[in-house]
Amino acid sequence: MDIIEIFALAVGLAMDAFAVALSTGMTHKKCGMKQALTMATFFGVFQAAMPLIGWALSSRFKDLMHYNNIIAFVLLAFIGGKMLIEAMKDENEEKNNFSFKTLLALALATSIDAMVAGVVMVKEKIETVSISIAIIGAVAFLFSITGFFLGKRCGVFLKKKAEIFGGLVLIAIGIKMLF
């Protein structure tokens, strides 16, 4: 893989993280830099770690790879559905924080496709894989933090609809991953 292919792969893999960060920023209006950095770090680390895991264990994961989309769908649909339910029942309470479990689930769900990318890199040299995972992690971090703050800006205008939109985005990403 050359550097352009690595960046293209990194951008493609970061799009799910960007969309999730965007919807999270919309629904967590009072969260600030600390929460944005935490989310971006989770997404960046998971996006970098998953290709390494896929690369290192590619021979053992071949039989399990067809389940990755189902796992991502279930996680995203669950979290998106939870956001929709919360949007319907709680009008006055603003979201101030997100839990470790939620961040973990979102980071895992948005990075499962990165494990498949690692399997694709199985023929690459370790130096290329190292550069790839660093770029993938950095791009995911940057896209996530950008998405979060863009979502905060949009969420101010959309108010209650932002949480509904965010939940629907997560569910849509999950459905997309099934196909």
Task: Give which of 170, 151, 176 is closest to 75, Cα–Cα.
Answer: 170
Q: Output the pLDDT for position 148.
A: 92
Q: What is the number of structural domains in the chain? A: 1
pLDDT score at 143: 94
Helix (H, G, I), strand (E, B) or coil at 125: coil
Structural domain harbouring 67: 3-178
pTM of the model: 0.75
DSSP state of 57: T
Of 7 and 168, the one with more pLDDT: 7
CB contact at 8 A, 172 and 45: no
Closest CA to 17 of 56, 53, 50, 65: 50
Specify the DSSP element, H or E, that contains 52: helix 33-56
- Is 60 exceeded by the pLDDT of residue 18? yes
